[in-house]
Structure 1
Amino acid sequence: MTQRRISVIAPCRNEQAHVVAFCDAVAAQALPEGVALEVLVADGMSDDGTRELLAQRCAADPRFAMIDNPRRIVSSGLNRCIERARGEVIVRMDLHTRYESDYIVECLAALERTGAANVGGPWRAEGEGATQEAIAAAFQSRWVTGGARSRALDHEGPVDTVYLGCWPRATFDRYGLFDEDLVRNQDDEHNLRLTRRGAVVWQSARIVSVYRPRETLAQLFRQQLQYGYWKPFVMRKHGQAAALRQLAPGAFVAALALSLLLGLVWPAAGRGAVLLGNLYGVYVLAASLAIARDEGYELLLRLPLVIVTYHAGYGLGTLCGWFDVLRGRSPSPAFGTLTR
C-alpha cells in the first residue's frame, strides 16, 4: 500500500533542555493509517549539547534527521528543511511548544475541509511562575495584542497570520519559501504574501498546542524589540502592514517621545506628554484589571509592568526599524541575534 508522507520541520539552536521532550512529543503523534512521518530538525550550530542529543535520536529513529543551519536564523532553517522534505504536507513544529497528540491529525483535517494554503491553531500561551504567567495572560489578551484573531482560542476561520503552520507542498511551489532577509516576522511576511495573492490562511480551534512565552521582563523586552524592528522591513517589501494594530505601539512611543522633546521648548507640548502618559496609564490599569478578572487577581501587581514592556519594546523596535528603512539601510546586526 502506498503511504502518504508528512514532513515535520523544526528550527532550533541551543535547546538542550527541550529537544528530547520535543522529539518524544512528535514521535508520539497519533497519525492516520497509511501516513508515514519524517522529522527534519534544522540546528543552528548549537554548542550546548543539542546537536549530540539530536544525533542520538536520529541514530535511534530513522524518521528523524538533523540538518545544519549555519546562518542560525529561523527563516533559513525552515527553508533548508523544506528543500529536503519529501512530504506532500509540511507541518511546522517548534521546540518551545507542547502539542496535543492529535495535533498533526487536526492539521491534516483542516487542510482537507478548507482547501487553505496554510492552516494552524490558535496561539495559546501558558506560563509557570508568577512573572511568566502574567506574560502569558497579557499575550493572550486583546487589550495587549489589539484583538489579533490568532490569539482567539475559539476562532475558526480565515486569519491574516497563524501560529506555526501546516501547508500542502504546493503552497511553497507556488508562493515561494520564507524570506531569509528576515530574522523575525518571516511567518507573518509569508502569510501576507499568501493572502495578498488570494490564498486562504485558516485557523482551526481544533488544532491545539501550548506555547511557553519568555520567562522574564528583560527577555520579553528583547523579544518584542526584535518583533517591532523587523515589521517595517516586511511593510517595505509589501507596501502595507498585515494589520493596522501593528502600527499602534510605534505611533504611541513616537508621539510620547516627540511631545517630551518639544516640551523642553514649548510648555504646551510638555503638558500634552503628561496627558498622553496619564491616558496610557489609565489604559494599562484598565487592561490589567480586565486580564486579572479573567486569569486571576494574583497577577494584578505584575500585569502593568508586563503590558508596558510589551508595548514599549515593540514600539521602540518599530521606530528603530523605520529609522533604518527610511534611510535605505540594511537591517542592523544588533537586531539579528535570536533571543530566548
Structure 2
Amino acid sequence: MLSVICPIYNEYKYIDICIQSILLQDYPKDDLEVLFIDGMSLDGTRSIVQKYIDRYPFIKLIDNPQRIVPIAMNLGIKNAVGDVILRLDAHAQYPSNYFSTLVNNLFVLKADNVGAACRTDVLNKNPKTLAIKEVLSHGLGVGNSVFRLGVNRVLEVDTVPFGCWRRDVFDKYGYYDVRLIRNQDIELNKRIIRGGGRICIVPDTFCTYLARETYKGIARNNYSNGKWNILTVYYTKQLDSLSIRHFIPLIFCLSLILPIICSVVYFPLIYVCLFSFLIYAITLGWVCLSLAIKKQNSFAYLIMSFFILHFSYGWGSLVGLLKLPFLIKK
C-alpha cells in the first residue's frame, strides 16, 4: 500500500496538472491513497481537489490550519495507512512510472529514501520564463545539486526531492522538524544519513518542477530559501544540515559588502569588492552568452534571472545571519 502526501496552499494554477499526472500513474489504484494536506487555500484549490475526491475515493483532503509544510507532512504520515510514504509537490508533474519506479527501487536498493531527478520547466513559455527555466537548471544557478542536474546511474546522495520512504523510517529517524519553514526535506535526509541510513537517486524516472514565472516570485522564494539556510543550522545545531553550495551566495554577498564597510578605515580594501564583482560579472556574462547562443534565449533575461536569483538568495542568508543575535537572546 502506497500513501502519497502532497502539501498544498493556493495552488489553483498548478493543482489540476499535478492531479492529472497522479491519475495517469501505472501504480495499482487499489493499493494507493493520495492525501492532499491543505493550508486552508483561498484561491479555489480546495474546490478543484473536491471535484476529484467525488470521482476517485483514493484521493483525500486534510486540513492544515498552520500552513507549514513540515506540519503538513507529519499530519499526512500520521493519517496515512500505507506501508510506503511518498511525498509530492503540487508545483510539479510526474511521468506514469514515477510511483512504481521509486517504490520498486526502495526495496531493491534496500535504501531508506529514494528519489529521482527534478527537471525544471515553466507553465507559460515566453522569452522571460524560458530564461528563468534555464537559470534554474544550470550549475551556476543551482550549484552541484545532483537531483537538479540529473543522473544516468543509481547514486547515493545527500538529499533527493519528494522522497519515497518505508513507513518505519520515521519511527527510526524521527518525523519532520516543525521549526523549519524551509529545508525540512534536506534536514530530514541529513538526519537519516547521520543515523547510518542510505539515500539513493535513480535514473529510471524523473519529475518536472514548474517554476515560478516572475522575477518577484523568484526573488521572494530564494530570499526565503537563503534566510532559512542560516536558521536551519541555528535550530538544528548541525552545520551539516545543509551543504556548502547553500552558502555560496552569502559568501559572495559578504565579499562585496565587508570590503566596502572596511574601506572606511582602509580604502584599498574597496578593490577586493571590485575584484569579486568583476570575476562574477565575467563568469555571468560568459555563461549567459553561451546559453543565449546554444538555447536561443534572451541574453538580457538570462543576466537578470541569474542576478535576481543570486542576490535574493545571498541577501536572505545575510538577513538570517543578522537575526541570529536576537534569536539567541530570546
Common topology (TM > 0.5): yes
Deviations 1:12-63 (A, max 9, x none): 111223223322221221115x961101000100111222222232222210
Q: Give the fraction of aligned pairs with identical amino acids, expressed as a percent.
A: 30
Answer yes or no: is 1:23 the counterpart of 2:23. no
- 1:97 alignment counterpart: 92
The structural deviation recorded for 1:190 is 0.8
The structural deviation recorded for 1:292 is 3.7
8 Å Cα contact 1:6-1:35 kept in structure 2: no
Answer yes or no: is 1:146 the counterpart of 2:106. no
Structure 2 runs not aligned, ≥5 long: none
TM-score (norm 1): 0.90
Once residues 221 and 321 of structure 2 are traced to their aligned partners in structure 1, the CA distance between those partners, rounded to angstroms, is 17
Once residues 278 and 311 of structure 2 are traced to their aligned partners in structure 1, the CA distance between those partners, rounded to angstroms, is 15
Equivalenced residues, count: 325
The structural deviation recorded for 1:318 is 0.9
- 1:49 alignment counterpart: 44
- 2:115 alignment counterpart: 120
Once residues 64 and 172 of structure 1 are traced to their aligned partners in structure 2, the CA distance between those partners, rounded to angstroms, is 23
- 1:334 alignment counterpart: none
Pair 214,18 (structure 1): closer, same or farther in 2 beyond 3 Å: closer
Pair 244,43 (structure 1): closer, same or farther in 2 beyond 3 Å: same
8 Å Cα contact 2:2-2:82 kept in structure 1: yes
- Three-state SS of the structure 2 residue aligned to 1:42 is strand
Once residues 60 and 204 of structure 1 are traced to their aligned partners in structure 2, the CA distance between those partners, rounded to angstroms, is 33
Aligned positions of 1:161-310 closer than 5 A: 161-236=159-234, 237-241=236-240, 242-292=242-292, 294=294, 296-310=295-309
Structure 1 runs not aligned, ≥5 long: 332-340
- 1:131 alignment counterpart: 128
Aligned positions of 1:67-86 closer than 5 A: 67-86=62-81
Pair 88,165 (structure 1): closer, same or farther in 2 beyond 3 Å: same
Once residues 325 and 199 of structure 2 are traced to their aligned partners in structure 1, the CA distance between those partners, rounded to angstroms, is 30
Pair 109,292 (structure 1): closer, same or farther in 2 beyond 3 Å: farther
- Cα RMSD after superposing both structures: 1.9
Deviations 1:215-267 (A, max 9, x none): 01111111110011111122221421321122211111012111122334432
Pair 109,313 (structure 1): closer, same or farther in 2 beyond 3 Å: same
Amino acid at match of 1:132: T
TM-score (norm 2): 0.93
The structural deviation recorded for 1:181 is 0.9
- Three-state SS of the structure 2 residue aligned to 1:110 is helix
Deviations 1:38-89 (A, max 9, x none): 0100010011122222223222221011000001121111111111000001
- 1:10 alignment counterpart: 6
Amino acid at match of 1:21: I
